Amino acid sequence: MTYKIKLALIISTIFVAGCDLNKKSKDTSQNVEIADWSCTSPTNVKEIERFAQQEYNNILDRRLKATHQYESDLKLLSQINSSLRFELKSITTTNDPSNATNKLTCSSQLVIHLTKGLQRRAENAYLEKPCEYECEHDEGSYTLQHWINDVHGNISYGQDKLIGTLNYEITKTDKEGLMLSVQPDNALLDIAASMTRYAVQFEAFRKANQNESKAYEEYEAVQQKQKALALKAMQLRKSDLDKEQARAVERLNLTWDNLSGEQKEQLKSDQTEWFERRDVDCKVVSQKSIESIPEKERETYQQHYQYWDNEMNQMNVEMQYSKCFIQKTNERIVYLNNVFN
């Protein structure tokens, strides 16, 4: 007997990491003729395959809209979708039909036959795909296969096929006749949609990476130019400090030499202690971070500190030491000139 029934395809969605499958698909319904109350009914199977492809199209459409910043190859998209094939296989009735009065539970494999060349192109595109969120893996080493295994481990992938599970139920109702409820593996459909999206946006990925590489090179060129300027400013200031330090030492020695033997003897112990204090104090002062120095107190060469590398930071420490050394040495010269007056 043939029943006129209302066929309701009810989709149970799941969350997929990094995807927008958190919104439930809308129920769809249509009138069809089913000749047999059976899990393997060709009419049921054909309708489920058609619906799986429709859900794939819906997911793909959301993916493309969410990544509209990457131009899609619409001609390639049409070619892929026109030859993509959805097939139900290994269909099994999981309850006992002889004891089932109003419900049949069915399990099956959903095989998605990929368009020739899609797998290879999607794999290559995945390696080129710019980081849309935080990159959790090393670029170039984390492949499409890794992503499928890590996020969708129950999906079989390879040889131009994707294979997952699909469960459905056929229920007899008094009002509507037979109702077919389908619970597809949305992870499987998500992978297929993502692969298509990667394939049709492959060239856009390449272009984006080229632009990013060019922008990075331009940024690096500016950074290197500013770093060279900062280094030159440091070198000029260091040259001045080295000369000032040498003159301060020379003046201190001359001042000491001008003291009498008796005066030197009186100051000998104090002078030794002063040398030690000067060295320790200036080492402490030199460790002061550039960030802790108020901007108005920074020297010209310190204005470009954001471009310093480790060697330049160390040079600044040495220069800070020299400035302290010169200041304290000049103060000592004044002291020695006045101590016996």
Give the pLDDT band (50/70/90) at residue 136.
Answer: low
Task: Let me know whether 281 and 161 are in one domain.
Answer: no
Give the pLDDT band (50/70/90) at residue 20.
Answer: very low
On whether residue 183 sits in a domain, the answer given is yes
Q: Does residue 277 register a pLDDT over 90?
A: yes
On whether residue 211 sits in a domain, the answer given is no
- Please identify, among 131, 165, 200, the residue that sits at the C-terminal boundary of a domain: 200
Task: Let me know whether 176 and 242 are in one domain.
Answer: no
On whether residue 219 sits in a domain, the answer given is no
3-state secondary structure 156-204: EEECCEEEEEEEEEEEEECCCEEEEEEEECHHHHHHHHHHHHHHHCHHH
**What pLDDT score does 185 carry?**
72
On whether residue 289 sits in a domain, the answer given is yes
Task: Let me know whether 49 and 191 are in one domain.
Answer: yes
Lowest mean pLDDT, pick from 3-7, 85-89, 165-169, 259-263: 3-7
pLDDT digits (tens, 9 = 90+) for 190-231: 999 999 999 999 999 999 999 999 999 999 999 999 999 999
**What pLDDT score does 141 carry?**
77
Q: Does residue 80 register a pLDDT over 90?
A: yes
Q: What angle do CA 328, 333, 335 make, to 5 degrees?
A: 95
Backbone angles phi, psi at 108, to 5 degrees: -160, 170
Average pLDDT, the chain: 86
Cα end-to-end span (Å), the chain: 129
Q: Does residue 138 register a pLDDT over 60?
A: no
The domain in which residue 306 lies consists of: 225-338
On whether residue 213 sits in a domain, the answer given is no
- Please identify, among 200, 235, 257, the residue that sits at the C-terminal boundary of a domain: 200
On whether residue 160 sits in a domain, the answer given is yes
Beta strands 161-173 and 103-113 are: antiparallel
Query: What is the percent of the chain with per-residue pLDDT over 70, rounded to a whole number?
Result: 86
- Please identify, among 141, 165, 200, the residue that sits at the C-terminal boundary of a domain: 200
**More confident: 159 or 101:** 159
**What pLDDT score does 209 carry?**
92
Q: 1 in helix, strand or coil?
A: coil
Q: Report d(CA 317, CA 184) in Å as an integer.
A: 66
**What pLDDT score does 177 carry?**
77
Q: Does residue 52 register a pLDDT over 70?
A: yes
Backbone angles phi, psi at 278, to 5 degrees: -60, -45
On whether residue 207 sits in a domain, the answer given is no
Task: Let me know whether 230 and 195 are in one domain.
Answer: no
Task: Let me know whether 185 and 238 are in one domain.
Answer: no
Number of domains in the chain: 2
Give CA separation, 247 vs 174, 240, 251, 325, 335, in Å: 108, 11, 6, 12, 17
**What pLDDT score does 178 carry?**
81
pLDDT digits (tens, 9 = 90+) for 24-42: 344 433 333 344 688 998 9
Task: Let me know whether 51 and 176 are in one domain.
Answer: yes
- What residues contact 221, with CB distance under 8 A and at least 6 apart? none
Lowest mean pLDDT, pick from 53-67, 85-99, 102-116, 325-339: 85-99
Task: Let me know whether 59 and 149 are in one domain.
Answer: yes
Task: Let me know whether 284 and 184 are in one domain.
Answer: no
Q: Report d(CA 143, CA 147) in Å as an integer.
A: 6
Task: Let me know whether 103 and 50 are in one domain.
Answer: yes
Give CA separation, 168 vs 8, 50, 123, in Å: 11, 14, 32
On whether residue 155 sits in a domain, the answer given is yes
Task: Let me know whether 131 and 49 are in one domain.
Answer: yes
Q: Report d(CA 259, CA 337) in Å as an integer.
A: 9
pLDDT digits (tens, 9 = 90+) for 311-335: 999 999 999 999 999 999 999 999 9
Task: Let me know whether 245 and 311 are in one domain.
Answer: yes
Task: Let me know whether 189 and 230 are in one domain.
Answer: no
Of the candidates 321, 316, 252, which has an alpha carbon nearest to the alpha carbon of residue 286? 321
